[in-house]
Structure 1
């Protein structure tokens, strides 16, 4: 009983006093937790702390050796196994809440410690499942924690490249990460408000009743597929981010072997009920589709049936694209604007009441990506779509609004029937002088001309005074010399 009390006390310290760089792992009761020591080390010690005691669970150089100091209820649930890559891993089966605590992995190569990992492990009484919150680039969403109540406290964690870390390292009510996303606590609730969302991510909340973790709730902040719009016969390249793999992150309870996570990502075409296997096979057997050396999916000459949702990666870490391939459209219209104008963009395609077109923007403010105007309307009230003719009205236009605007007739199966594009360009301002300024400029010009004339007259007059007239001749040789009277 004393040992259990120590564990719960340690769990409280874990939840509320974790350092900024502390790794956290979460397990579900009844499931298992796996350790994957690196193969290149000579041996590793996998240990657990209980209070001031440190119990070595496994010495990988001799997994058969049993440590008599390990509590009996834990010792009976320890297991060693080998995966399909012939890598040995170590398992705690049938997790219970007393398995919570601090764990350590120490690995040696010859006489040198090459790895020392400390992490906190939490096993809650109940797992409330995984819920998905759909969002969009730059959007705002609120995520709530199921199971939270007034007499319970909540701790939020977020996935950090495969490991769980605290969202807030102290009592701060908001923070901004490196992607400029903002996370705020909604006062007096268990809710998080996320603003300027840039990427999908897993979150988890731990519901605590004093020293005991009562339940956990997993939340996937799901980014809708990034839209790419092209016309037939154009070239398209869907890029797969460098940090995407075909394996999930460190998962809820497991860490995949290192040699599996290094495998290249896999491209998939999302299958829906409307598409049969023959259609899918036809798309992927197209000769002009290939994956290049950078793992990008390249279409050298697009066709209408290439429209669809493509994903790169695995089930947890992936990048999705919604590719719209439209019939050849007319040359884009050009709309010029000045700062503060109101601009109306026409939707130059045919459409019906049952299938209205959608507007997309690709500009500086969307970082060169296609973003639905519906998503932009959630960020600003300057964008409005006319119900009468589906025109896009932009008020108080700024330089950031420069870019491409697409009106696309697309159905729920991501099939494009027509599209039109408008280029919105900034008109350089024309400097208009005031009447007073014009009068002053004219008067100055007249005075300048008068001054030039006066200077020229003075110069001419001066030159005439220095020289005798042209018809005057003075002869000195024929003048007779007079005699002196002296």
Structure 2
């Protein structure tokens, strides 16, 4: 092999080593969605075969698609700023490793590697029944007596729900993950698994593949009953904001308090293992463990889970590209209009929140969920107008606090450009970033967050009686250069006036002197003055 070819293979191996391929399971005839790249120049998808990269599709060069894929490859969405990839009419021969990349200005901003398992069909999962808190997971015992048949078992792992292989009976009946050996038992040569009650607290989603002579016959998704797993909380932060997530100490014994740690998209974080861009801190008074991210970037989107011996708290951070902040002061009894500054349309979802405690907020409005009612203390004097502005009449001191709205594009079918174009702000501190949107994540795209800090005074302030305007007109700041120019012009004018006055004074004196000299001249030379007098 030429040295350049060897170098390319080594570079490819290094790239793949950075990220293990994540399994995807599909049946023959289905469609593979490779996700979306948002706000990028183009997307490229490769198939990796024995160390070689075969370009399947490049959105900037559609003629590069191989003949075998031309009739099966399509874009996932036709919007200009949202690029995706579909491989349709899947065949058994499509099994393998796929690499997808997002490119902006000649730089790869995101990549993801998947291993596609192609099976003849998918078997529907059966309902599981718990006995004393435990359960038996069965793939298909009927295949257990067949020769040359093996089972592959996978599970989704927190955070991120990444799918990992933990048992391949073709190689061994030993579990590959140490933490599973105390909660799982292999039965019937791997065709069934016994999972204890403790195991159910940590694992809710399994996949099994029946493989015969190297070919996948079918796969099954087994979802376990929910136990005491906490509900995932959606939180929204804008680029540059400080994020603080709380891990409650409720229901934890003193022996397990010190075991708390956070699992994040960047790795594990605890008091002894901080990361460069985040760290943990103890809350004063209640002993909660806080995860602190000093400055949010677009890369912080994802799932964050706090663990002790079980999962304690779970969050999903959605990062908003635009942040607008307002401070509002007004008198008791007046009306406040807190705007999202958006032309409302069907492609976006508006959420309004208010802060009720330092670490707790309350969802008070969801444009897509009519079951969310306004809080009782403001319900009779509050409404949302057609532009999604939150309007509170007859405010009082109890209404003081922090309110914010988020504007979500919660479907990839929406027109992102149009929604972004509807954000009309006078604030120039706006940052847009490209974002990877994965089909299976059902990711929401937050295009704006607007924060209003409201202060209501009981006594009248010295201010106008007009209602609060969300975008008050401000006088433009005058540049020092303008002051200098104006000063120079005034100086020239003053100097000109002085010179003019001096000239006038001199002219006046000359005239007086001439008038005084005429009588004297006439006395000295009367012959000369006589004709002049006759004129």
TM-score over 0.5 for the alignment?
no
TM-score normalised by structure 2 residue count: 0.37
TM-score normalised by structure 1 residue count: 0.40
